[in-house]
Structure 1
């Protein structure tokens, strides 16, 4: 009598790749992260068939649009697996905080982020810092280049495109700086853009594209053209845009410019300029004060308001299509748009930053509260005067330092404020 052979049981690794792909599609992100470390075969399948697709449109770390701002700024090449983990860290508030360039005197800096460098103002001087790829190190502390002098009037606005930097100062003057080593083509002296030659009105906002420049104080907004006379360049006034504005920004096609007022009693704080005709048209955004704005595309404007709202305005319908309310009813001081779906808003107090997803209406995704190590003169912590980000790092300019939140930190403690009321009840109960 022939003995019966024992039937071996089927395990997951016995299945072919096509079946595994179907199974992995039903797994949650946490399950996929666990399966990823089972064996090299699972790693290859999950990386190729699952993480590649799932990470395409993830908030802040998506790679479908490789021309997105945050994608171009990221110094490290994130794998599909790493993108999923960094995405979870953004959503769950898991980050490592760094406090850089602490200063004893009040001086909110202006910052500009690139893939390899960070530009940061210090009083009247602009400094260029190299970014570091080393783990736990954000910037090399010594600037590789400096422009201007600390004793110059404070830099209040900053814009950079390719090898040209455009800065505005507290004394109402602007300066064009060439950083491509071709200074002889741009020996332009500082230009006064105030309402008259003798006033020193603070330059609130600037922008430029090619040889077209825009400036605004709270009393005067103007367009300027870079021209040449006897081979010497200068800025020539192209158009007067009437009263001043708090923030201005050219559209991606540079055919229009959005302008936000600091205060407007008629509640028409958002205006649009036709660059070809220089006509200024108030838009039907029901707001009296706009602190910052960005273009999402050539028809959609993202605006941050004093009335504690963040809005998506569509020029085609001439209305606010989406409005997000801050849960703590604080004004929005600054906006950073990643070029896809993510928007980070710097708030009035506590260096706080809100994360929004343009695909998720009427709800914030996460709140970030940096550590309160230094308080201002009135005992209230600093606003987030300016925020910029790449796919894994968030830079926050405050009263006295630069805060950096690094989300490539899986070991860090999670500070989850997705439900602030539940979080506050837990904190109160534990205390």
Structure 2
């Protein structure tokens, strides 16, 4: 009996188990494990937990992930925190597999066409004739009341953009208004900037571009905060839906409705208004461009009624990549991390698609909670949250997997800064 126990004890000593392996060997093994398996292994013992938390395990995994990579500067500037390599992989797993908590804010009966701007710790949203700013706290919750309210517009805000401390809004029936984001005061107001709705505006430095339903694009110059002067106007000959300045502001693109046999995408010089690129573009009548986004000074994304997302290289004047919506819907909005990730907001059911530029098919689909089918009029994201502006609500997708966001529906808030 004693000999048998001694044999069993010797056998256990000679058996090599996983926990007995050197740390370097374990690191090599863990590199080949799936994310879910690593989570389970980290719960086995303290040693495994600390090894799996080492960056070495996550370096290769984090190199090519979408959404959470924080490679581009404009994504880092809007992120509340800099994520560790493990957190990047964990949160991306939630994006990829559609694991999130959805909360609904600013629900109302009236239907609007809201737009969004996201900064570090602040979310700006247009809502009817107002522009509101909500603060995001360390728990990723939005404040119950806005910290800034810009009111006093005569008509609904069709589009707005924030550059530094300046907010430029384009209204229905042609007005163009400038605001100070810090004080909430108007800096200028051009009541007759255009003769019809200002569908899109963009601003870089002292340069403003506005595009209107009146078929014109206008370039404005802000010589000082209170003065905005028109530099020149371009007659497109077609309803203008979207405009965007390149990152270095030397050129700008204009997306139009694609009617009257006029190309729906144009590239102009910002200083002279001369067309600088003839894009190789075969289009169907009415296949207008609803949104454009510059990736680099030489490349941009476009989307619209033809259900396609195109990546253009203006150096050769051609589309270099093409993606088609899997459900054949018009694409109203785009959001990108200027690396490998972009999202498309569709025309029905509050649907959003996640895309990888390196792949042909979309990665994941997200359906917003909405009483009626609504387009996604505006969309912004950071590594842990996606904000979607629908016609009757602001829907927030929380992929962080930490805590619970407030589920209270926001009513019309009291103003903190009100300008009339």
**TM-score normalized with structure 2 length:** 0.86
1:178 maps to 2:180:
yes
Secondary structure (helix, strand or coil) at the match of 1:327 reads coil
Q: CA deviation at 1:239?
A: 1.9
> Against the structure 1 CA distance between its residues 203 and 15, is the aligned structure 2 distance closer, same or farther, given a 3 Å change threshold?
same
1:227 maps to 2:234:
no
Q: CA deviation at 1:240?
A: 1.5
Q: CA deviation at 1:234?
A: 1.9
CA distance in 2, matches of 1:353, 1:173: 31
Equivalent residue, structure 2, for 1:142:
145
Secondary structure (helix, strand or coil) at the match of 1:189 reads strand
Equivalent position to 1:16, from 22, 25, 28: 22
Secondary structure (helix, strand or coil) at the match of 2:48 reads helix
Equivalent position to 1:276, from 233, 253, 271: 271
Q: CA deviation at 1:319?
A: 1.4
Q: CA deviation at 1:181?
A: 4.3
Decide whether the 8 Å contact of 2:312 with 2:319 is kept in 1: yes
Secondary structure (helix, strand or coil) at the match of 2:137 reads coil
1:386 maps to 2:378:
yes
CA distance in 2, matches of 1:318, 1:44: 52
Equivalent residue, structure 2, for 1:213:
208
> Against the structure 1 CA distance between its residues 130 and 123, is the aligned structure 2 distance closer, same or farther, given a 3 Å change threshold?
same
> Against the structure 1 CA distance between its residues 332 and 182, is the aligned structure 2 distance closer, same or farther, given a 3 Å change threshold?
closer
> Against the structure 1 CA distance between its residues 38 and 161, is the aligned structure 2 distance closer, same or farther, given a 3 Å change threshold?
farther
Equivalent residue, structure 1, for 2:408:
none
Decide whether the 8 Å contact of 1:61 with 1:71 is kept in 2: no
In structure 1, the gaps of 5 or more residues are: 376-380, 413-431
> Against the structure 1 CA distance between its residues 40 and 52, is the aligned structure 2 distance closer, same or farther, given a 3 Å change threshold?
farther
Equivalent residue, structure 2, for 1:403:
395
CA distance in 2, matches of 1:175, 1:282: 32
CA distance in 1, matches of 2:198, 2:184: 26
Decide whether the 8 Å contact of 1:347 with 1:383 is kept in 2: yes
Equivalent residue, structure 2, for 1:124:
129
Equivalent residue, structure 2, for 1:169:
171
CA deviation profile, 1:248-292 (whole Å, cap 9, x unmatched): 111111111111112234362111111233212442233341110
CA RMSD of aligned residues (A): 2.3
Equivalent residue, structure 2, for 1:29:
35
Equivalent residue, structure 2, for 1:241:
234
Secondary structure (helix, strand or coil) at the match of 1:297 reads coil
Greater shift, 13-22 or 327-336, is seen at: 13-22
> Against the structure 1 CA distance between its residues 56 and 239, is the aligned structure 2 distance closer, same or farther, given a 3 Å change threshold?
same
CA deviation profile, 1:367-398 (whole Å, cap 9, x unmatched): 111224x22xxxxx111111111111111111
CA deviation profile, 1:24-67 (whole Å, cap 9, x unmatched): 2222222222223333433333332012442233100114x251
Q: CA deviation at 1:14?
A: 2.0
CA distance in 2, matches of 1:75, 1:130: 11
Decide whether the 8 Å contact of 1:89 with 1:410 is kept in 2: no
Decide whether the 8 Å contact of 2:292 with 2:300 is kept in 1: yes
CA deviation profile, 1:49-97 (whole Å, cap 9, x unmatched): 012442233100114x251x33322224433222222111111111111
Equivalent residue, structure 2, for 1:41:
47
For 1:1-400, list aligned pairs within 5 A.
6-7=10-11, 8=13, 9-46=15-52, 47-63=54-70, 65=71, 67=73, 69-134=74-139, 138-149=141-152, 152-181=154-183, 187-194=187-194, 199=195, 201-218=196-213, 219-227=215-223, 233-243=226-236, 244-266=239-261, 268-280=263-275, 281-287=277-283, 288-360=287-359, 362-372=360-370, 374-375=371-372, 381-400=373-392
> Against the structure 1 CA distance between its residues 266 and 171, is the aligned structure 2 distance closer, same or farther, given a 3 Å change threshold?
closer
> Against the structure 1 CA distance between its residues 300 and 327, is the aligned structure 2 distance closer, same or farther, given a 3 Å change threshold?
same
